Every structure is written in structure tokens, then in C-alpha cells.
């Protein structure tokens, strides 16, 4: 039961952060800052989870490394955009102080991770766009796992590009076979 409760709380905080970072009110070019409304709402959610929720569990007991990882997963569910070292850097940078950020209603970590995601996603989309201009070799025996949620993030850019190469071939084959 405690495991499920902790999982719920980790997901709840990751969701709170993702709602603010990806809010439609924020333009891609807009400066991402915590507004007074966001601060109050974040503070209120923390208070509700600690005082009103039936478990009455302090966020101090949460594994903030897991909260950061679940937040990153909100954007990179299939572990294709971020590298493992980037996820580790987010944990190192934000997990030790995330409780304080949340108690203060400060969504800075969410904005930082989201902005980084936009950057790596745009870089990867440019890569895919250029790669689609080249031919693909479907004679090579290969294997791709479409659901990568439980698999690690790629270790480096070469591994990420290989995953994307496989993903593109997988999508192209599905499209051809579906016709």
C-alpha cells in the first residue's frame, strides 16, 4: 500500500510541475517564470496532499530523484529525447532542493527541464528531417522495441541516433505494411 501511495504522490508532483511548464498560456518564446497564481496553486497542492489527503504523508518522505525522473518522463515517455546523463544532471541539480522549491511554490525546476526538452526535441526533429532525405536499408535484420518506457535513456548521442534510426524504420515499415 505504501508503495502505491508513494508512486501516486511522485506522479502527482510530477504532474503539477508539468502542468505549469507546458501551460498553453506560456508561449515557446516567452520567459518562463513562476507567476503568483502558480506559486499559490503549488503551495496549496502541497498543503492539501500533506494535510487533507487520507494518507497525510509529508513530501519530505518522497524520493525527489524519482519525482524528477517521473517529471522528465512526462515529456520523454519512450526515453528517446534525453540522454541518461542529462536525466542524471536534472536529478543532481534539482532533487536535493525540490522539496523547498515546492513548499515555496516555485516552479523553476519544471521550467528548466521543459526548456531543455524543447531544445533537445527541436534538435532531434531537425535530425529526423535531414535523415528522411536519405534512403533506408531494410535488408539489414534489426529489432526495435516501440514501448521504451521501462528501458534506460540512451547513453550518448550515437546511441540516441541509432534508436531514432530504428524508430523511423519501424514507423516506415508499419506505414508500408498498413497500405
Tens of pLDDT, residue by residue over 153-164, are 999 999 999 999
**Number of other CB atoms surrounding residue 115 within 10 Å:** 13
Closest residue by Cα to residue 79 from 167, 142, 174, 175? 167
Instruction: Work out the end-to-end distance of the chain between its first and last CA atoms, rounded to an integer number of angstroms.
Output: 47
Between 29-43, 114-128, 141-155, 161-175, the lowest mean confidence (pLDDT) is in 29-43
**Cα 12 from Cα 42, distance rounded (Å):** 11
Q: Which pLDDT belongs to residue 172? A: 87
Q: What is the length of the chain?
A: 179
Whether residue 121 has pLDDT greater than 60: yes
Closest residue by Cα to residue 145 from 87, 70, 80, 72? 80
**Cα 34 from Cα 38, distance rounded (Å):** 6
Tens of pLDDT, residue by residue over 2-30, are 444 444 444 544 444 454 444 444 444 45
Please give the mean pLDDT across all residues of the chain: 83
Closest residue by Cα to residue 163 from 96, 62, 83? 83
The alpha-carbon radius of gyration of the chain (Å, integer) is 19
Tens of pLDDT, residue by residue over 51-83, are 776 666 777 888 999 999 999 999 999 999 999
Whether residue 43 has pLDDT greater than 70: yes
Q: Which pLDDT belongs to residue 13? A: 45
**Number of other CB atoms surrounding residue 61 within 10 Å:** 10
Percent of the chain whose pLDDT exceeds 70: 79
Between 43-57, 114-128, 130-144, the lowest mean confidence (pLDDT) is in 43-57
Q: Which pLDDT belongs to residue 156? A: 98
Whether residue 175 has pLDDT greater than 60: yes
**Cα 130 from Cα 146, distance rounded (Å):** 22
Q: pTM above 0.85?
A: no
Closest residue by Cα to residue 15 from 77, 71, 63? 71
**Number of other CB atoms surrounding residue 164 within 10 Å:** 17
The three cell numbers of residue 40 are 499559490
Amino acid at each position: 500500500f505504501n508503495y502505491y501511495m508513494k508512486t501516486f504522490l511522485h506522479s502527482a508532483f510530477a504532474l503539477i510541475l508539468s502542468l505549469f511548464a507546458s501551460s498553453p498560456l506560456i508561449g515557446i518564446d516567452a520567459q518562463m517564470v513562476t507567476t503568483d497564481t502558480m506559486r499559490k496553486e503549488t503551495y496549496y497542492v502541497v498543503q492539501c496532499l500533506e494535510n487533507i489527503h487520507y494518507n497525510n504523508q509529508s513530501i519530505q518522505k518522497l524520493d525527489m530523484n524519482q519525482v524528477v525522473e517521473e517529471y522528465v518522463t512526462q515529456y520523454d515517455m519512450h526515453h528517446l529525447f534525453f540522454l541518461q546523463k542529462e536525466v542524471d544532471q536534472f536529478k543532481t541539480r534539482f532533487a536535493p532542493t525540490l522539496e523547498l522549491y515546492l513548499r515555496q511554490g516555485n516552479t523553476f525546476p519544471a521550467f528548466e527541464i521543459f526548456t531543455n526538452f524543447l531544445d533537445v526535441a527541436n534538435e532531434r526533429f531537425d535530425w529526423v528531417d535531414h535523415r528522411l532525405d536519405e534512403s533506408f536499408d531494410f535488408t539489414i535484420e534489426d529489432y526495435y522495441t516501440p514501448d521504451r518506457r521501462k528501458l534506460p535513456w540512451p547513453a550518448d548521442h550515437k546511441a540516441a541516433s541509432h534508436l531514432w534510426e530504428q524508430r523511423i524504420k519501424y514507423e516506415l515499415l508499419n506505414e508500408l505494411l498498413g497500405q
